[in-house]
Structure 1
Amino acid sequence: MSSLLPVVGPASGHDQEAAASIITIQKVKVKDLQLTCEFTEQRTPDAPPRAFALTCAEQIHPDLSHALSRLVPHLCLLTEQLAETPDFWPDEAEELPALFEPFTVTGFSMGKHQGGVTLIGQRELTGGRVLNLTAPYQSFDDERASYPYTGLLEATLATALAEVEAALRGKCTEYRQLDLFEQPTAANIHVVPTPPQA
């Protein structure tokens, strides 16, 4: 696995080990296992933020897929697609229950100062068609919040944000192009003698 880059942009100075920059994620989208992200980066806390939009060529790491899957129950409740049942909330390590199979979270959009979130996802319908879902904006600081799991949503989202930041710094699925043709080695080269010509 490649080491994580401390700074998204080029490092200042020659041969200096750069300190980790401050990344603030604004929008995240995953399509075909590739991450597209809008974010700002500051090299120091007092530096002005620089805005970036980035699409990663590598496939996302399974940890990011897992973190996004943990947001599916919230998407289902916020869009009123499913009602809560006793086995609705899975443990962190276990897979999502079967009732969530048609649903995926494909991204999210953060509110100002990361004070809330809008979840974006899909539901695969019976005929194979896809229903796009956009949850209403959910503030984390709203005292009159109608959503009873705001704290859990914020904690689950923090894990997803950490995985997105790790992806921006280089964490991705290991991918190695296989050789089109096997390269000969000394062990599998056979010399066939040719008969002398007269």
Structure 2
Amino acid sequence: MSQLLPIVGPDSPEATTSIITIQKVKVKDQHLTCEFTEQRTQEAPARAFALTCTEQVHPDLTHALSRLVPHLCLLTEQLTETPDFWPDESEELPALFGSFTVTGFSVVRNQGGVTLIGQRELSGGRVLNLTTPYQSFDDEQASYSYTGLLETTLTTALAEVEAALRGKCTEYRQLDLFEQPATTSVLLVPTPSPA
């Protein structure tokens, strides 16, 4: 599922294409950490990278990860499916998912399967870390009924991670700690010349 993409970093006219394969993704405190390989061409050897972005992730990436929450809940047997379990793409998640978060995932075997990583906030404020069993997309004997939907949702999340690697992030500007005067004036004081 590798795609030809510009080299990691902002798009530019002189950028050559490369093949990026994402292996592991984690979002913590709105910052992306990603392990991936990059090849300049199909014949070139893959180079492995681990990158932590200093910019905050774009809301599109956060939204894409939130779409994985129902799969996390089913695969870890935290919730059972209800009639309103699967929201539309534009809808917010139903309230029953309020205490769950997908914080990342691992993709293995040439993106032929995934392991989701997430958390559930318990009533006492403590956090339960959750990791799903590996879910293959090619397994004909799959016990998970929504493998196709999981793969489609993961593809969207991977596209957002790839966009983040190319520079898509939240646009923000940090305010100055101290207010600067609007104009500065310089007072020139004449110095007496030696007589």
TM-score by length of 1: 0.86
1:114 partner SS = coil
Q: Which of 136, 145, 150 is residue 147 of structure 2 equivalent to?
A: 150
Q: What is residue 7 of structure 2 aligned with on the other side? A: 7
CA–CA distance in structure 2, aligned partners of residues 64 and 32 of structure 1: 13
Aligned equivalents of 1:129 and 1:35: distance in 2?
23
Partner of 1:74: 71
Counterpart code for 2:147: T
Q: Secondary structure at the match of 1:151?
A: helix
Q: How do 1:31-180 and structure 2 match up within 5 A?
A: 31-180=28-177
Gaps of 5+ in 1: 10-14, 190-198
CA pair 16-96 structure 1, distance change in 2 beyond 3 A: closer
Give the superposition deviation at 1:111. 1.4
What residue identity is the alignment partner of 1:7?
Answer: I
Percent pairwise identity? 83
Unmatched 5+ stretches in structure 2:
186-195
Structure 1 residue 182: deviation in Å? 2.6
CA deviation string 1:118-149 (max 9, x = no partner)? 00000000000000000000000000100010
Looking at structure 2, the residues matched to 31 and 185 of structure 1 have their Cα atoms a distance apart, in angstroms, of 38
AA partner of residue 8 (structure 2): V
Give, in whole Å, the separation in 2 of the partners of 1:178 and 1:129.
33
Give a deviation string over 1:96-128, Cα, whole Å, max 9, x none: 000000000000000111100000000000000
Corresponding residue for residue 192 of structure 2: none
CA distance in 2, matches of 1:42, 1:162: 17
Q: Which amino acid aligns with 2:66?
A: S
- TM-score between both structures, scaled by the size of structure 2: 0.87
State the superposition RMSD in angstroms: 1.9
What residue is the counterpart of 1:181 in the other structure? 178
The separation in 2 between residues aligned to 1:160 and 1:31, in whole angstroms, is 16
In 2: Cα distance, 1:171 partner to 1:90 partner: 26
> May I ask how many residue pairs the two structures share in their alignment?
179
SS of the equivalent of 2:26 reads strand
